Amino acid sequence: MPALYLIRHGQASFGADDYDQLSPLGERQAEHLGAAFAAAGVVPQHIICGDMRRHRQTAEQCLLGLGSTVDAGALTWQTDPSWNEYDHLDLLQAYTAELQVSEQMLADMAGDNPRAGFQAHFARAMQRWQSGDYDGDYTESWTQFCGRISRALDAASRSSRGNIFVSTSGGVIAVVCRHLLGLADANAAELSWQLVNAGYSKVLSGQSGLKLASINEHSHFDGRHRELLSYR
């Protein structure tokens, strides 16, 4: 049965001047995913990318790994910003608008584990966004974000094509899971932080509608490939 494969982008460039590009590890992750698909006989007929650079780069590296298993002449591409991640800088700007909060976040990120310090504050920024109490502070509210992803999912699922690879981001995939499984907002946020780079979730379309067949598949990073595993 043809499926919709929701692929989280490979590791982006955290801490660099431009976050929105794959790191060298991210490139290897995405190419390895493609090789794993090729070995399993999973081939896309159509690719959808958000219009972020890391989405496109992930799809390109995945195709490199798929190699000759893909018929380039039959493969179609679509760039759709509806699959873009939320603006994390917008969330942080609204969260740190109070000077005291901003100073505390900087102090926590200056500690021994900057990533953990950042994550603790980002979780609070996410909770603020999801609460719906401050929608006027954001360019896109949580409700609007979820609606955008729901519409993108419906549009992709109505396609008559075969397997579709969607190169997107963790927050987007978590919202798809929220939509299909009826998850609480807080659970969706927690799930998004568990999704591995260049892992994938699989959606099937049947007579009873869309079904989530798997979440966060990443066995291609098991064993001797474990050094490729990352979450951020």
Residues 81 and 128 in one domain: no
C-alpha distances in Å from residue 162, one per residue of 28, 59, 156, 209, 227 = 26, 17, 11, 17, 32
Residues 91 and 206 in one domain: no
Residues 126 and 191 in one domain: no
Residues 168 and 191 in one domain: yes
Residues 107 and 146 in one domain: no
pTM, two decimals, is 0.92
Of 117, 139, 161, the residue at which a domain comes to its end is 139
Residues 183 and 212 in one domain: yes
Q: Rounded CA gap, 182 and 214, in Å?
A: 15
Residues 124 and 40 in one domain: no
Q: Rounded CA gap, 15 and 84, in Å?
A: 20
C-alpha distances in Å from residue 17, one per residue of 3, 12, 13, 52, 86 = 36, 11, 8, 15, 19
Residues 52 and 153 in one domain: yes
Continuous segment of H or E residues that includes residue 57: helix 53-66
Residues 80 and 187 in one domain: yes
Residue 163: give its domain's CATH number.
Answer: 3.40.50.1240
pLDDT in single tens digits along all 232 residues of the chain: 579 999 999 999 866 667 789 999 999 999 999 999 999 999 999 999 999 999 999 999 999 999 988 887 789 999 999 999 999 999 999 999 987 888 888 887 887 887 788 888 989 999 999 999 999 999 999 999 999 999 999 999 987 678 999 999 999 999 999 999 999 999 999 999 999 999 999 999 877 789 999 999 999 999 999 999 999 8
Residues 179 and 196 in one domain: yes
Q: Rounded CA gap, 142 and 159, in Å?
A: 27
Of 114, 139, 164, the residue at which a domain comes to its end is 139
Residues 66 and 93 in one domain: no
Q: Rounded CA gap, 134 and 143, in Å?
A: 12
Residues 163 and 220 in one domain: yes
Domain that holds residue 98: 87-139
Q: How many domains does the chain have?
A: 2
Of 139, 154, 172, the residue at which a domain comes to its end is 139
Q: What is the pLDDT of residue 28?
A: 97
C-alpha distances in Å from residue 231, one per residue of 177, 194, 195, 203, 225 = 18, 7, 6, 21, 15
